A and B are shown apart, each in its own frame.
Chain A
């Protein structure tokens, strides 16, 4: 009967174990999710943003505010100014008609000043041209163009390209002066692909008939979204009565509102973003083009494009030993000896999925011998030449 006395205690103990076990399991889920989402990882190491407002003049205040709103969002989510190319006509903040000089607002009520003191406009005024935009993308810039105006991306860069302004069927108007066509942008992206200037591009455009602008893309790894279908207009969202003009566009407003709920650690996917589109509220039908995009949209994080977030990967620890140290020394001091495999590099691991075994270890020992042989060979050469000269001098002096 003594076990009956201990029964409550045992039960409690069992219950505690069960609770712990289920909790452990349920912890696995988000953990697995966290790393699971990285299975289809994009493999990018840096983020860039190209934000283009293609309009000028006071009445296009909202386009300026669109671009500045996106600028603030990407900065907040971690992309530094050095990696953001902001192209604005920049004639709104200090416009004579601006009742709030030096400020640009995106919502009526004027609670958040997007212009502020800490923005960096790279291409302003008349520098926002089709030619400059395409040169920026393709990298064919004049040698005198400073670094801040160059898109210094590499093949591991994710680029967020945002364009806003007045547009139409497969064209976008630049500064009331010229237009860029969907074919131009598609070709520019193809050039970037050929020159390995991006890993993935997320293209967002807010104009009338915006979805036509991404219809001509043909390069891989591009995800595109636009604010309205062909034949549809994109509308502004609201006016501010004191500023006197529309301060934000509808589509961009809802995207920015969505973004306000995102921070750097967010695991929200692009599919979630696209699912949040409400054509009724936006008053147009936003579209998505994902056929060129290799990853599933559920696996692509919003911060892959909007934020400057690095991915962490775990791989087994390799213990440092004499062989790898020697390999490093050989690489440093004898640069002419090429050491082909580098098992320590995470890039190599990521790219090839190589087992972290010592399969490369046998290759290291011949390197050591080679180094010794080279030193010997050098000494042999030196002493041979000295001996030859010495013999010559001696022979000539004493024999002849």
Chain B
């Protein structure tokens, strides 16, 4: 794993996995844990077919992807190679994030970080299922990579792209702007105030808005209209038209929601995502990369159309922060909860949908376990990130006092 050839070999293996036509079982492609209506391969194919036959693909609620996917896959052939390349790009971005955090050119741990991304089953399986969450994750990691390497324009462009692909990534705008203003190196142990100029941040923000606007124009030209694709792709996260079961919280709630209360609860659930931004960013204003990491964890538990790829990104990013490992209090509990949830989810899904012996409550209970697993990870990471600032208890004081909560 320390050899410099390890990562290229791993990347080649991933490419080979795509090239060799081993039969991916259809069950994987439609699995509700791995794909959601926003990321489903079949919907993308259907949208492409409709587009090629001159029908507006956004009429009818089938296609919820961004029009940029349509334009990409109208030119590039739709194949597993695209997903493999996206995976490799994501892994490479994660390694670069690690390197810029450590301010090292090359380290022995690179292989481990790359492996944490490429071999994470939460990320590998959706990629094999051709879920477009792979592209979304890659875009997010590219954003963080460019921001960590101090290349503001590219970072803001990548952020605009990732926000365009998935609306909920808007949560990351604040930490990325902060990261651009500060440095990616680990400041967890020495918190300080965010002393940078707010004008710089505002300039970056306006640049982001410009890039975002250009992408919106490109997408609107592709889709032949402005509101059709916005309503379908971004509106899906806000209005939740499709209640396909997924490992997240939202669908079950809204299946039994009276129409009268729907707007209110949609607002509550969306606000629930937004309220984490400022507290996390204020508390971790000294280490914006860690704030971004925590917000990815929040997204990985509370997103509207959750798939396994979202907690997967959060878990893979743990590899970039080895300094918190000694301070994680219940890492094994989190790991076991994840193992528990990842076994129960497909089991109860099959029991409910395929066999008909269970019902939605079984599956929702398993997704609640997944939520607890995600929550446990976030809470632990949050605590460890703050605990590291307190430092280790000196020998003399060991029996006398103990840090419980900050």
Contacts and interface: CB of A to CB of B under 8 A. Distances in A.
Interface in B169-216: 211, 214-215
B221 A336 contact: no
A264 interface: no
Contacts of A334: 53-54
Interface stretch (A31-39, A115-123, A206-214, A379-387): A379-387
A389 B218 contact: yes
B241 interface: no
A334 B51 CA distance: 11
B221 A396 contact: no
B62 to A, nearest CB: 16
Interface residues of A, number: 19
Interface string A357-400: 00000000000000000110010011011101100110011001
Interface string B107-135: 00000000000000000000000000000
Given A381-B221, A393-B157, A396-B154, A374 B71 contact: no
B71 A382 contact: yes
A393 B72 CA distance: 14
B42 to A, nearest CB: 21
B206 to A, nearest CB: 14
A384 B54 contact: no
Nearest to B157: A396
Contact of B153 (A335, A381, A386, A400): A400
A388 B55 contact: no
Contact of A388 (B53, B153, B218): B218
A389 B68 contact: yes
A335 B217 CA distance: 27
A333 interface: yes
Q: Mostly helix, strand, loop or mixed at chain B's interface?
A: helix
Interface string A276-288: 0000000000000
A374 B214 CA distance: 25
Contacts of A385: 67-68, 71, 218-219, 221-222
Given A378-B54, A382-B75, A397 B154 contact: yes
Contacts of A400: 153-154
B58 to A, nearest CB: 13
Interface string A174-210: 0000000000000000000000000000000000000
A384 B224 CA distance: 11
Contacts of A393: 157
A392 B52 CA distance: 26
B214 A381 contact: no
Q: Mostly helix, strand, loop or mixed at chain A's interface?
A: helix
B53 to A, nearest CB: 6
Nearest to A333: B53
Contacts of A384: 218, 221-222
B224 A381 contact: yes
Nearest to B74: A382
A367 to B, nearest CB: 13
B101 to A, nearest CB: 23
B184 to A, nearest CB: 20
B157 A386 contact: no
Contacts of B217: 388
Contacts of B221: 381, 384-385, 388
Contacts of B68: 385, 389
Interface string B67-90: 110111011000000000000000
A396 B211 contact: yes
Given A336-B55, A389-B68, A396-B153, A381 B222 contact: yes
A336 B224 CA distance: 15
A386 B75 contact: yes
A375 B211 CA distance: 29
B215 A389 contact: yes
Interface string A314-342: 00000000000000000001111000000
Nearest to A393: B157
B387 to A, nearest CB: 39
A316 B51 CA distance: 40
A386 to B, nearest CB: 5
B52 to A, nearest CB: 8
A372 to B, nearest CB: 12
A393 to B, nearest CB: 7
A123 B207 CA distance: 74
Contacts of B211: 392, 396
A58 to B, nearest CB: 50
Contacts of A392: 157, 211, 214-215, 218
Interface string B48-60: 0001111100000
Nearest to A388: B218
B55 A382 contact: no
Contacts of B72: 386
Nearest to A379: B74
A326 to B, nearest CB: 15
Contacts of A381: 221-222, 224
A382 B217 CA distance: 12
Contact of A336 (B51, B54, B214): B54
Contacts of A382: 70-71, 74-75, 222
A371 to B, nearest CB: 9
Given A381-B222, A381-B224, A396-B157, 10 more contacts: A336-B54, A374-B54, A375-B54, A382-B75, A384-B222, A386-B72, A388-B218, A388-B221, A392-B211, A396-B153
9 contacts: A381-B221, A385-B67, A385-B71, A385-B218, A385-B221, A388-B214, A389-B68, A389-B71, A392-B215
What 5 A-B pairs have minimum CB-CB distances, sorted nearest first? A385-B222, A400-B153, A388-B218, A385-B218, A396-B153
Interface of B: 51-55, 67-68, 70-72, 74-75, 153-154, 157, 211, 214-215, 217-219, 221-222, 224
Interface of A: 333-336, 374-375, 378, 381-382, 384-386, 388-389, 392-393, 396-397, 400
